[in-house]
Amino acid sequence: MSLNAGALPDFLRRHTGREPSALRLGFIDDAGAPYADQPFGSFEWNQLTDLGFRLTRMTVGKYRDARDFASDLGTVDAVYLSGGHTFVLLGALQSNGTGEVLKERVRAGLPYIGLSAGSVVAGPNVEPVAPLDDPADAPDVTDFTGLGLVDTVVIPHADGLLPPYPPSVIEEVVRTYGGRFPLTRVNDDQALLVEDGVATLIPSGIT
């Protein structure tokens, strides 16, 4: 997803057969760490709880042993990677093996939900969002390879409606990286649904 979570309840109903109130999401919040003191920091958490989901906060960068992360994933019905800084999130996933554990679990059937940065890291490479998030904010990240769960790089906020990401920045991304990477622009009222290897842009409006 890019911003709004309207598509999420139906997605999880199909994959779990249960309503939001019966589901627990593992809320991976590392991308939001640089913005913890900003007013929008609670937006996603509130959006999900308003939909009825129960949340378990998981900060992957705090795990010393990826096996503990694997154990915690066994207690949730789906995993949700929040928005924020893409390169900070990637660095956390690379730092301790949690990224590899996450890939294995998702490929084994654990539903994956990402918003903004969380959707970008699901792709093959995060380099194309450098005009949106400064890689220098995560200096330890030298390998921009994503989780590779989908075959395209999501470019969130592609409608240019959020002030930090005007249309000129989105066009810069496409102009600079479109020849090197497969890109999918996702507007704030859309989500990229990937099921059985088939990717489809679907509506995901304000809930």
What pLDDT, in 10s, does the model give residues 29-79? 999 999 888 766 789 999 999 999 999 999 999 999 999 999 999 999 999
Catalytic residue among 2, 119, 157, 204: 157
For residue 62, the enclosing domain spans 8-203
Determine, yes or no, domain membership for 157. yes
Chain mean pLDDT for the chain: 96
pLDDT of amino acid 185 = 98
User: DSSP 3-state assignment of 207?
Assistant: coil
Q: How many domains, in total, are found in the chain? A: 1
pLDDT in tens, 119-128: 999 999 999 9
Q: How confident is the model at residue 197 (pLDDT cuts 50, 70, 90)?
A: confident
Is residue 172 situated within a structural domain? yes
User: What CATH number is given to the structural domain containing 56?
Assistant: 3.40.50.880
Q: Is the dihedral of CA 130, 134, 135, 138 positive or negative?
A: negative
Q: What is the DSSP letter of 67?
A: H
Within-domain flag for 3: no
- Has this prediction a pTM greater than 0.85? yes
Residue 1 domain flag: no
Annotated catalytic residue 157: yes
Question: Looking at 2, 82, 116, 204, which residue is catalytic?
Answer: 116
- Residue 15 bears catalytic tag: no
